[in-house]
Amino acid sequence: MSEPSPQIVAHRELRSSSIDRVLTGIKPTGTPHLGNYVGAIRPAILSSRLPNVESFYFLADYHALAGSADPTRVHRSTLEVAASWLALGLDPDVAHFYRQSDIPEVTELTWLLACVAPKGLLNRAHAYKAAVDQNCERGDDEDAGIEMGLYLYPVLMAADILLFNAHRVPVGKDQIQHIEIARDLAQRFNHRYGEILTLPEAQIDETTATLPGTDGRKMSKSYDNVIPLFASPKALREAIFAIVTNSQLPGEAKDPESSSLFALYQAFASADETAAMRAAYAAGIAWGEAKQRVFERIDQEIAPARARFDALMAAPEAIEAILQRGAMSLRPRAQELLKRMRDAVGLRPLTATHNSGKRSDKKAKGPRIVQYKEGAQFFFKLQDADGEVLLVGPAYAEARDAGAAIAGFLKGEMAPELQALIDAAPNRAAIEAARVALIDS
């Protein structure tokens, strides 16, 4: 893969001091194509390798149900999408990679958000509005055939994003409204119950190409003009040879700017290769010859991943295990956030003392670190939102040393003796969840 795009690099410099959480969902409703690869998968994998970025990539299978998808297709597509990302180099030890429906906290959060979601806001969501408009044109009842899955789609998506306090959400332009709704719901929740949720931002990468499909329009399932990512070399070649070109003859100079074949080549080639192709166009390369070069260049990039993809597709149990691990490692964090939210909205154990979780109390209850002295030694302990002790640090001779240990802990740079304690703890995931919540607050 090539260098990160300049935009990503600029962003890294901007927030170099803290962790940048990047999250995006992939709806498993079809077989990944070259447009998905160039527009989403490739930049996402590159971005996951940057320092200071924590990435969350998940299969949005709950979303796939909205619009009554065929069960066999959802199941198959989930496998294909997961295998594709892994084959293309997503490292599940570097990025969180999981399936939405393995994290039930997503649906619980959806309800909490639905309770602050103005109905009028959802009435204006593009997909719902388009369905209503269609009904009206036909003279039907405006909600005829519309299911709540479609209506609540933006709320479910807000839950995906807010559950992990994502900062940035890389999406296509068609999803911007959804991110705005997520921000809006987070703001409403925070305003009513205290500052708990992080406001996310959409990230639209103008530098990544939108790939033209075989008919010259944007490559998209809905236009039926896609080139499958892991088609056999023969099928890939055929799809590329089916790309529509004009009737210019060999020897006639051709215009790269109006050629979707050229745009496709450019999305895979280096700057030098692109320049050479531009020269070949000027020199009147035959369309057949140009197509052959495009095929060879794309195949060269895809071939190694294709072999891995085939191997993964034959081992669904390995993919399943990766997804399970991804969900397991994240659920404590999700639970930590929900604990705070439940407490804030008044869903508390009956024995809980009335906390002042009112509007005026902007700082919602979360985990905390308490420093204390026992005998001549200094300690610190980590407590969750309910005051339960998650971790007691080692003894220090000086208060200063305990303070430094806390600072190191928060930064994720534990001193060896503290690291050893954490490694041995049965509740490591809860400790990590509390640590993350603390640095967020």
Q: Which is nearer to ligand TRP, 203 or 260 (CB)?
A: 203
Q: Which of 24, 36, 165, 335 forms a contact with ligand TRP (CB under 6 A)?
A: 24
CA distance 339 to 366: 9
Q: Which of 53, 157, 312, 364 forms a contact with ligand TRP (CB under 6 A)?
A: 157
Q: Identify the CA nearest to 349 among candidates 387, 390, 392.
A: 387
Q: Which is nearer to ligand TRP, 169 or 422 (CB)?
A: 169
What Cα–Cα distance (Å) separates residue 129 from each residue in 122, 150, 164, 188?
9, 10, 29, 23
Q: Please give the full DSSP string across 218-267, using - where no structure is assigned.
A: BP-GGGT---BTT--HHHHHHHHHTS----PPTTS---GGG-HHHHHHHT
Residue 293 as a binder of ligand TRP (CB under 6 A): the answer is no
Q: Which of 90, 116, 131, 161 forms a contact with ligand TRP (CB under 6 A)?
A: 161
Q: Choose one: 42-50, 87-95, 155-163, 244-252; the region binding ligand TRP (CB under 6 A).
A: 155-163
What Cα–Cα distance (Å) separates residue 183 from each residue in 166, 256, 418?
11, 41, 37
Q: Which is nearer to ligand TRP, 44 or 418 (CB)?
A: 44
Q: Which is nearer to ligand TRP, 125 or 390 (CB)?
A: 125
What Cα–Cα distance (Å) separates residue 232 from each residue in 112, 177, 290, 313?
46, 37, 20, 14
One-letter-per-residue 3-state SS of 385-429: CCCCEEEECCCECCHHHHHHHHHHHHHCCCCHHHHHHHHHCCCHH
Whose structure tokens read 């906390």? 355
Q: Which of 69, 116, 169, 197 forms a contact with ligand TRP (CB under 6 A)?
A: 169
Burial class (CB in 10 A: 0-12, 13-18, 19+), 184: middle
Residue 102 as a binder of ligand TRP (CB under 6 A): the answer is no
Q: At closest approach, how far in Å is the CB of 169 from ligand TRP?
A: 5
What is the C-alpha end-to-end distance of the chain, expressed in Å?
A: 36
Q: Does residue 338 contact residue 108 with C-beta atoms inside 8 Å? A: yes
Q: At closest approach, how far in Å is the CB of 171 from ligand TRP?
A: 5
Q: Which is nearer to ligand TRP, 186 or 430 (CB)?
A: 186
What Cα–Cα distance (Å) separates residue 166 from each residue in 175, 182, 197, 347, 426?
16, 11, 9, 24, 27
Q: Choose one: 17-25, 78-86, 121-129, 249-257; the region binding ligand TRP (CB under 6 A).
A: 17-25
* Strands 389-392 and 377-383, bridge-based pairing: antiparallel
* Strands 96-99 and 168-170, bridge-based pairing: unpaired
Q: At closest approach, how far in Å is the CB of 156 from ligand TRP?
A: 7
CA distance 393 to 418: 6
Residue with the shortest CB distance to ligand TRP? 25
Q: Which is nearer to ligand TRP, 27 or 297 (CB)?
A: 27
Residue 25 as a binder of ligand TRP (CB under 6 A): the answer is yes
Q: Which is nearer to ligand TRP, 66 or 294 (CB)?
A: 66
Whose structure tokens read 């390798």? 49
Q: At closest approach, how far in Å is the CB of 157 from ligand TRP?
A: 4
Residue 332's H or E segment, with its range, is helix 316-345
Q: At closest approach, how far in Å is the CB of 202 from ligand TRP?
A: 9
Q: Which of 171, 302, 305, 433 forms a contact with ligand TRP (CB under 6 A)?
A: 171
Q: At closest approach, how far in Å is the CB of 56 from ligand TRP?
A: 9
Per CB under 6 A, contacts with ligand TRP among 60-99 are 60, 63
CA gyration radius, the chain: 25
Q: At closest approach, how far in Å is the CB of 137 from ligand TRP?
A: 24
Q: Which of 11, 21, 27, 306 forms a contact with ligand TRP (CB under 6 A)?
A: 27
Q: At closest approach, how far in Å is the CB of 158 from ligand TRP?
A: 8
Residues binding ligand TRP: what is the number (CB under 6 A)?
13
Site residues (vs ligand TRP, CB under 6 A):
23-25, 27, 60, 63, 157, 160-161, 169, 171, 175, 178
